[in-house]
Structure 1
Amino acid sequence: MPVVESALTSAPNNSSRNTTSHENQASNISPTVPRSTEWVQQNPQSEESPLALGSNDEQPHNLHIVGPAVTSDNQVLSDYLSSMPSASRGSRIIRPAIGNRSRPVLFTAVQKRPVGLDSNLSFAEERLQLIEKILEPFTSDLVDVYFHKANSCFPLLDEGHFRKQYRENKYAISPALLSGLYAHSITFWNSSPILSRHRRPDGRFIWNLATEAAYSQIHRSPGISTIEALILNIGGREVTALIGNGVLLASSVAMAHSLGLNHSPISWEIPQSEKNLRMKIWWALLIHDKWLSLSHGTPPLISPTLNDVPQPLVETLCGEGSFPEQALNASVYIALIETLSDEIRRVVIRGNNLKIPGAANLRLSYLTVRLLLQRIELEAEKRVRDTGDSRLLNRYMQARRTSEDILILTQELQPEHLADCWLPSSAFAFSTTVSFLLRCALETENSTAGLVQSSSLKIASDLLSALRQHKEKHAWDLGDICLAQHVDVVEKLRAMTPPEDPSAEEVLDFSSFAMAEASYLDQLFPSLWDPLQNVW
């Protein structure tokens, strides 16, 4: 049978710490890790490792993966000290299952908190208390909304374990995680029959409180539940916080590497629930890293060659006894990572059956990637073709057709689609689409009359109108960035008046105007910027 061994490290027992305060009750344990994997300090005779890979985040130490060059040295020391039961044990060697040729993985205990930091004060807990005071008496309703709307499309937490712990000992849940869950759920306030009858709290204020709690926990007690809290924060509607989201994502990826989440746990001798937890967190990070990289125009943080976590399966995401609609939701989630089933392919390419939770977001994501590829092809053609070449004009036409598909999708969105789960990166799809359409209009028209009547400018104007309508009628905020950046630009271009005598108008070269001096264009239209331009 495969075994789990322990080696000697400096991991003193911290049982003398005062555990009667309210903060110590609010331990930062991930709600998806069963109690059997925790370090039970009261049982020194336990044969389990004193620190599980998903251990209680309130513990003073954390497990940090050790490089393969050092693993062999520590394994020799572990074998020598295995006959010394009195030795303190704070590291853990995980051997692969029998028949698996992979090398053992060593984790060693490292101290979480900075030396001298008072552990009796928790800023994150204070933020959580303030959030709950604002939301009372609807905190339980927001938990229901989260699992019904968000977690069904973007599975991160184990609903059964979380609800049990929330019901029996809510203060044992990480305050940053619970704060992030509340803030994340406010987006779907009007989707609840109970909550929609009451005034919606200030979501931005609560988001700021949840973000403060997350930053505090990164400093004081980072762990698995901290990564979950950051994922909820990154996946929320604070789409204007580009740098802040980038910092949180980078912190999450760094912690994930430290905890070994980039390694496949399939062959490890740990509970299946812990395997699922580790893989779910890694998949969530991978999705946000790839799509935020596309949206922000920045390099991805996760290297495909430095992780071996397998692709998600419907069975892993849904668990036993799942319903058919849950499996369909999981298929949409899997499509964000890698593959497309036949049914999901029809959703993505044809836009069929957008009633599936997350399907509208997936369709928009597909169109955004298609437009990006067509723009890259257009740039390549411009380097080798003349301005009037038919092949170059065909590239413009293909990209314009994709932009029109984005317009049609936006116009056809119904209230149930707008209230669905959307990745925050979707907000940038509209900005990049309008930016590209304005560029097409300037590069393909050579007169004022042609520019005003350009089909590209017309599509851009219609897209802004659709976003404004969704904002006014349904308070849909994913179009806010696009509206703020491009409304003035489009209105100025459409307000241009061509001369009464078209024959007297001098032929203008708008393409050279648009591309020759970028700083001049920025001065004329200061809100015109395109995050996707950096990915070329």
Structure 2
Amino acid sequence: MSEATQPFPQLPVSRPYRSHKIRACDACRKRKVRCDVTSIGEDCQLCREQGKTCQYSVDEKPPRLRRLPLSDPSASERQRNNTPVLKRRHTLIDDPEKVEVPEPRAQNWEGSHVRTDDRANDAPNRSDKGRQSLHIVGPAISSDAHVLEQYMSPGWPEGRTNDNPYSVYFSDPSKPILYKKVPRGRVGLSINDNAGVNQREIFEQIFYPNATQIRQLYLAKIHPAFPVIDEKLLTEPATSQSKGAAALLCDVYASALVYWNQSPLSAGRPRPDQRYAWNLAVQALADDFLGPDLSTLQAQVVELNGRPVYSIIGNTVGNGRGVALSYSLGVNRNPSQWSIPQQEKNLRVRLWWGVLIHDRWGSFAHGTPSSISSKHHDVPIPALEMLLPHESVSLEYRRSSESFIALCQMTEILGQALPLVYDLEGNSQKDTSKVVRRIEVDLDKWEDSLPDYLSSTSNRVTVSGSSSLRLCYLSLKMLICRISLHAVSQQGSTEAIEAYRFRQVESRHAAQAIVDFITSLKTFHLAEFWLPYTTYYLTSTITLLLRFAVETTEDSVAETCVSSVKMFTSWLRHAREVDDWDLAEDCLNNCEGIIARMTKNGRRPQQKPVQEAAPPVNFFDTEPRNDWLDATLPVSYGPMDGSGQVRDLWDMFRFDEQFPV
């Protein structure tokens, strides 16, 4: 045989797969895709995409089991011993010692964010019961368990393994941190070890051959302004292909689609269906919650960041599920002194603040009470070094990370205001005023501490997340003004009339400030990172301005409010159609029906003259119970949800102001 006809040494010498000139590698054969090889000996395009090397299996087919006839005297004995009888080349293997039976694998989570497969050392751990996770021990019994741990013998009786149910992470006698080993899933319910793997493969088929570019799009557009996941899960091929990160990758792929038109991938290719993508991600995460760990919590936080919002109820339930898992894994505790790697400490701090941000700003947007109390966590605000993957990051990346720190600081201030909204017992006007003054002082200090590139006067520099941060700040100020307005209205004295009118003007100016800020944004501002809850703050702004237009007795004020709303919605329409801003679309779907029925001056059209009457004590007694504005409010809240109706946050107060405007 000549040298030209010799087979390439890296390829198997067996016959090529079917009639192909070059045999397909194992990965392409498994996924049933074309194996594109530029030249013999190089890796195919799919393996290069995943950072792998083409593998060509040359093993023969696994031997089949041969059933022995019942007349065989050794058949019953082999069945009792579970000894497989293999047939290879028409020869029986009767010696059971020569038969290799693969051992089952057990999964164990040891505080890492990626699951690892380890072989069990003893037979009982090879079952589903051996798949263990760690659950934090409550402070009521952690000190007891810690004392007992100190008096336990370091050795173990012969023939017994380490069955200590506790793991000490922090040995401070005053507040020890212990974890207890518990089954990762329900006993008797099979855990899907491949949760999200099928959905991830579907995503990679859709994005083929640009799955890596989609992950890089997430790292460029979302991660700097909201760094709650481990970057290695997206940058290292071996880690990104692990089973433990499959559900997280699905949420990353779905989240990045909102920025599809801003990437080179959009050239000549339409954006994949976002609804279908989110359905895949939601299903993958639901399977992953059957045996959750820290990777599951990362996926949940990324899903709550997703845009557009297709289900408010789904996001609210997902937020509660994420908070409960955070408590279970002890993410709400300060890990700075724990006996874990520094990388995991940083991840836990970032992850907790991601959970807290979604809990409180989602509470502000959706009208549901917050699930986290300020007294139930002690995680410090992350330092800038915890957010940067390495020191040589760009200036834009560093500034976006600082906007995340500023958002964490403002989230703490929001936590002071939410109890004033959802406390059913209510506070006195004096107590409410004290809290409001303290919040206003904290907000002023927070604004003064911002660097120039995050302040309102800096529009020359683009920092991803800064515009969303500014809108959250203005929305919080509007909430504080509305709380003060309600508190003054409950006094019921003539001395409070001027204070009420002042607070009403202040609230109207706060809403107008949001309109002025949003309409001043340019296209590149809309391409930044935005929290999905900001669309509901825009809806609240429009609702509040329309209410002032209805309630005021001054035609000039009513006309100003209505014209401002119409100008605002016109700008949002342009942002939706030209800039493809999904947040504008959500707001318009909620408010266009109301605006279409508004008159020019916000007054109800008069069909016939009405006799003048003395103004009532309660201003709202002049309105029938189901007036025209209330009839227009129940519209679908969300572009495709239909699961709820407009529930503005201001309605949670059940206002009954005592003073006419």
- Which bracket does the TM-score occupy, shorter chain normalised? 0.7 to 0.9
What is the distance in 1 between the residues matched to 2:192 and 2:540?
Answer: 48
1:372 to 479, 495, 499: 479
Counterpart CA distance in 2 for 1:90 and 1:137 is 48
Q: Secondary structure at the match of 2:583?
A: coil
**Given that residues 353 and 408 in structure 2 are in contact (C-alpha distance below 8 angstroms), is that contact kept between their aligned partners in structure 1?**
yes
Which position in structure 1 is the counterpart of 2:203? 131
Find the residue that maps to 2:178 and give its secondary structure: strand
Q: State the Cα distance separating 1:457 from its structure 2 match.
A: 1.1
| Structure 1 residues not aligned, in runs of 5+ | 1-14, 51-56
Please name the residue that 1:10 is paired with.
none
Q: Distance in 2 between matches of 1:522 and 1:205?
A: 35
Q: Relative to 1, partners in 2 of residues 1:174 and 1:513: Cα closer, same or farther, differing over 3 Å? A: farther
Residues 294, 535 of structure 1: 8 Å contact kept: no
Q: Which runs of 5+ in 2 are unaligned?
A: 1-101, 411-445, 636-644, 654-661
- 2:402 maps to 331
Deviation at residue 473 of structure 1 after TM alignment: 0.6
Which residue is equivalent to 2:155?
83
The partner residue of 1:178 within 235, 243, 249 is 249
User: Is the 1:240–1:481 contact (alpha carbons within 8 Å) kept by the matching residues of 2?
Assistant: no
Q: 1:386 to 1:506 in 2, by over 3 A?
A: farther
- Alpha-carbon spacing, 1:73–1:505, altered in 2? closer, same or farther (3 Å): closer
Give a deviation string over 1:271-291, Cα, whole Å, max 9, x none.
Answer: 101111111110100111110
Q: Which has the larger radius of gyration?
A: 2
TM-score (norm 1): 0.82
Q: Offset at 1:432? A: 0.3
Task: Say whether residues 1:350 and 2:465 are aligned partners.
Answer: no
- The more displaced of 407-416 and 431-440 is 407-416
Deviation of 1:458 after TM superposition, in Å, equals 1.2
Q: Say whether the 8 Å CA contact 1:283–1:337 is kept in structure 2.
A: yes
Q: Determine if contact 2:552/2:558 at 8 Å carries over to the other structure.
A: no
CA deviations 1:109-165 (Å, max 9, x no partner) are 111222333446745322222232222222111100000010010001232x22453
* Structure 2 CA distance for partners of 1:167 and 1:379, relative to 1, 3 Å: same
Query: Which residue is equivalent to 2:438?
Result: none
Shift of 1:445: 3.0
Q: Secondary structure at the match of 1:148?
A: helix
How far, CA to CA, are the matches of 1:269 and 1:500 in structure 2? 71
1:93 counterpart = 2:192: no
Give the one of 541, 551, 567 matched to 1:433: 541
* Counterpart in the other structure of 2:331: 261
Give the AA of the match of 1:372.
L
Q: What corresponds to 2:315 in structure 1?
A: 245
Q: How does 1:390-409 map to 2 (within 5 A)?
A: 390-409=498-517
Deviation (angstroms), 1:342: 4.8
Write the letter of the residue equivalent to 1:488.
G
Q: How does 1:252-291 map to 2 (within 5 A)?
A: 252-291=322-361
Residue 512 (str. 1) matches residue 599 (str. 2): no
Asked if the contact 1:28/1:172 (under 8 Å) is kept, the reply is no
Kindly tell me: are residues 474 and 212 of structure 1, through their superposed partners in 2, closer, same or farther at Cα, counting changes over 3 Å?
same
The alpha carbon displacement at 1:108 in A equals 1.2
Q: Alignment partner of 2:134: what SS?
A: strand
**CA, structure 1 residues 28+199, in 2 after alignment: closer, same or farther (shift >3 Å)?**
farther
Superposed CA offset, 1:433-472 (max 9, x none): 01001110111037xxx38962111111111111111011
Instruction: Give matches, 1:24-43, under 5 Å.
Output: 41=118
Aligned counterparts of 1:524 and 1:367: Cα–Cα separation in 2? 26
What displacement does 1:181 show?
0.4
Match of 1:483 among 584, 588, 607: 588
8 Å Cα contact 2:135-2:179 kept in structure 1: yes
The amino acid that maps onto 1:392 is Y
Structure with the larger RCO, 1 or 2 (CA within 8 Å, 6+ apart) = 1
SS of 2:502's equivalent in the other structure is helix
SS in 2 for 1:479: helix
Partner of 1:162: 233
Which amino acid letter does the alignment assign opposite residue 258 of structure 2?
Answer: T
The structure with more helix, counted as a fraction of residues = 1
Aligned to 2:104: 17
Query: Residues 496 and 286 (structure 1 numbering): CA distance in 2 closer, same or farther, change over 3 Å?
Result: closer
Q: Distance in 2 between matches of 1:40 and 1:431?
A: 48
Report whether the alignment pairs 1:199 with 2:270. Answer: yes
- Alignment partners' CA distance in 2, 1:91 and 1:207: 39
Q: Indicate if the aligned counterparts of 1:452 and 1:493 stay in contact, CA closer than 8 A.
A: no
Kindly tell me the number of residue pairs found equivalent between the two proteins: 495
Contact 1:123 1:216 in 2 (8 A): yes
Root-mean-square deviation over aligned CA pairs: 3.7
State the alpha-carbon separation in 1 of the partners of residues 274 and 130 from structure 2: 32
Question: 146-155 vs 86-95, which deviates more?
Answer: 86-95
Whole-Å separation in 2 of the counterparts to 1:349 and 1:329: 13
Q: Label 1:144 to 1:500 Cα distance change in 2 as closer, same or farther (>3 A).
A: closer
The amino acid across from 2:594 in the alignment is V
**Distance apart, 1:419 and its partner CA:** 1.4
Partner SS for 1:427:
helix
SS of corresponding position for 1:526: coil
Counterpart amino acid of residue 197 in structure 2: E
User: Which residue of structure 1 lines up, in the alignment, with residue 82 of structure 2?
Assistant: none
Are residue 459 (structure 1) and residue 533 (structure 2) matched? no
- Number of the residue aligned with 1:411: 519
Distance 1:168 1:103, change over 3 A: closer
Q: Closer, same or farther in 2 for the Cα pair 1:428/1:44, shift >3 Å?
A: same
1:529 correspondence with 2:646? yes
Q: Secondary structure at the match of 1:80?
A: coil
CA distance in 2, matches of 1:492, 1:256: 46
**How many Å apart are 1:504 and its aligned residue?**
7.0
Could you say what secondary structure the match of 1:337 adopts?
Answer: helix
What is the TM-score when the length of structure 2 is the normalising length? 0.67
- Tell me the equivalent position of 1:152: 224
After superposition, the Cα gap between the structure-2 partners of 1:371 and 1:530, relative to the gap in structure 1 and judged at 3 Å, is farther
Structure 1: which amino acid aligns with 2:340? I
Secondary structure in 1 aligned to 2:180? strand
Percent identity over the alignment is 29
SS at match of 1:423: coil
Rate the CA distance shift 1:341–1:226 in 2: closer, same or farther, 3 A: same
Among 471, 479, 484, the alignment partner of 2:576 is 471
Return the letter of the residue paired with 1:17.
P
Q: What letter is aligned with 2:466?
A: A
- Aligned to 1:445, what secondary structure does the other structure show? coil
- For 1:8, the equivalent position in structure 2 comes to none
Q: For residues 398 and 44 of structure 1, do their structure 2 counterparts lie closer, same or farther at Cα, with a shift above 3 Å needed?
A: same
In 2, the alpha carbon distance for the partners of 1:394 and 1:249 equals 37
Say whether residues 1:65 and 2:136 are aligned partners: yes
